[in-house]
Amino acid sequence: MSDSDLSYGFEDGIATIRIDDGKRNALPPELIGELYAAFDRAEADEAAVILTGRESVFSAGFDLNVMKRGGRRAIGMLRSGYGLTARVLEYPHPVVAACNGHCYAMGVFLMLSADHVIGTHGEFRISANEVAIGLKMPRVAATMLEHRLAPSAYQRAVTLAAEFNPEDALKAGFFDELVDAGALATVAHARAKAFSALPAATHAVSKRRIRKATIRRIRRSIPLDIVDAAMMGLRGVKPRDKKRA
């Protein structure tokens, strides 16, 4: 993994965490570890966070090359990735996800962990596509989708691997607002700056209070999802879909 896959910038009380692997922003174990470290650094900086991707893609999700090989590395990737959703959900300062374009599977669940999600107009697709690539919908993933989506969209997202364009994703609850690509960074910074003016203690206590049950459910579900993955050997992934994980 190159040094440029994840960058951390801190200015004016705002930490910008950017994922850019030059391709589809897949999430291998090493990058997930760097995301944990970046959030730890941001918390030490007492920073509001902007989490974003690269041109036209937020994240394609877990690295399917790792998943297809199976073994401890794949299991570790799933465990740490699922746990990252809880880490972001309980982060004590505001988190803004700035979605640059396409977003699939674990990328969606990470995005939905933020407090405010900004989408981008364009020919993009948002999808929890596990069922389409031959995987059972993980319990953690279903929890994250239920946390944000309208009931009918939740049903379609989980059972039918529905793909949403940005406008439909906004209606479904994936996004809180949509902006043009050229305005994404500016709007994300403005939102983060405004949210960072909230009293830090009351923000942190309130978000953890209303998310307590969701975070508990995630942590209880991780071992069950790992057992499911181990039992199926991670071999249900269809080769033709290995770019969408």
List, for residues 176-203, the tens digit of each pLDDT value.
999 999 999 999 999 999 999 999 999 9
Residue 70 forms part of a structural domain: yes
CA-based nearest residue to 135, from 230, 221, 243, 237:
237
Task: Report strand pairing: 56-59 vs 95-98.
Answer: unpaired
Residue 64 inside a domain? The answer is: yes
In this predicted model, which residue has the larger pLDDT, 133 or 6? Answer: 6
Dist CA 224 CA 217 (whole Å): 11
Q: Residues in the chain, how many?
A: 245
Please indicate, yes or no, if residue 135 is contained in any of the structural domains.
Answer: yes
Domain-embedded: residue 202: no
Please report whether residue 225 resides in a domain. Answer: no
pLDDT at 11: 97
Please indicate, yes or no, if residue 166 is contained in any of the structural domains: yes
Distance CA 198, CA 206 (A): 12
Could you tell me if residue 88 is inside a domain? yes
66 pLDDT exceeds 70?
yes
In a domain, 241, yes or no: no
How many domains does the structure of the chain reveal? 1
Q: If pLDDT is split at 50, 70 and 90, which confidence band does 230 have?
A: confident
The token duo for 46 is: 């007492």
Structural domain including 186 reads 3-196
Q: What is the pLDDT of residue 168?
A: 98
For the chain, percent of residues with pLDDT exceeding 70: 93
The domain that holds 67 is classified in CATH as 3.90.226.10
